[in-house]
Amino acid sequence: MINNDKKQLRKELIALRDSLADRDVKSKDICQRLMSLECVRNADTVLIYASFGSEVDTWEIAELLRKSGISTAYPKCHNGGIMTFHVVDSDEQLSGSFHGICEPDPSLSEPVITDRTVCLVPGVSFTEHGERLGYGGGFYDRFLAENDIPKTALCFESLISDELPTLPHDIKVDMIVTEERTVFCNAEK
């Protein structure tokens, strides 16, 4: 029952996101707010994702991170629900692959995850408590269950929900950056 609820809710929220006005302006505001965070400014590596569709734009974020001397690593999805990250020095090292989402070549090196590594976690919607409605593959939940690193979501303010259908294995984010504010979720680890 909850899977059908999630699928329908995901569809409705993506339609809402698709219809948002000024997404480019809001994405730039989110980018500026994210880049001002101490944990990002002091990061050695940011695990980032290639935005697609109407998601918050991560392309400018990646460029600014690299210009600041911060490594960027992108996810590669593998059979069996496994996801690995690979260090990418330029957008040209990404190509369309998993459901049309740009991914790195798996031959690129994997990042060394340290206490200064930050993970940007994609999602359709989030609650102020860090609950996340992802895209349904479970790749991030599996990866984050094995890697205890700061988890930051990028989300348009209008996609912050009061509640979302979640399951015990769903990993919460620690922080959400919107165009209007930064939410510290106090998510349980």
In this model, does residue 62 exceed pLDDT 50?
yes
Instruction: Give me the pLDDT at residue 69, please.
Output: 97
In this model, does residue 2 exceed pLDDT 70?
no
- List 46's β-bridge partners, or say none: 72, 118
Token code pair at residue 122:
């994609």
Share the mean pLDDT of the chain.
92
Instruction: Give me the pLDDT at residue 3, please.
Output: 55
In this model, does residue 21 exceed pLDDT 70?
yes
pLDDT > 70: percent of the chain:
96
Instruction: Give me the pLDDT at residue 99, please.
Output: 72
Instruction: Give me the pLDDT at residue 45, please.
Output: 97
In this model, does residue 1 exceed pLDDT 80?
no
In this model, does residue 60 exceed pLDDT 70?
yes
Please enumerate in sequence order all residues whose Cβ is within 8 A of that of 129, keeping only pairs 6 or more positions apart, or say none. Answer: 172, 185, 186, 187
Question: Nearest CA to 125 among 3, 4, 12, 2?
Answer: 12
For helices 23-35 and 59-67, the axis angle rounded to 10 degrees is 30
Distance CA 160, CA 178 (A): 9
Angle at 135 between CA 176 and CA 171, to 5 degrees: 50
**Chain segment 99-154, per-residue pLDDT in tens:** 778 999 889 999 999 999 999 999 999 999 999 999 988 999 999 999 999 999 99
Instruction: Give me the pLDDT at residue 122, please.
Output: 96
Instruction: Give me the pLDDT at residue 136, please.
Output: 86
In this model, does residue 4 exceed pLDDT 60?
no
**Chain segment 147-176, per-residue pLDDT in tens:** 999 999 999 999 999 999 988 889 999 999
73 near 45, Cβ under 8 Å? Answer: yes
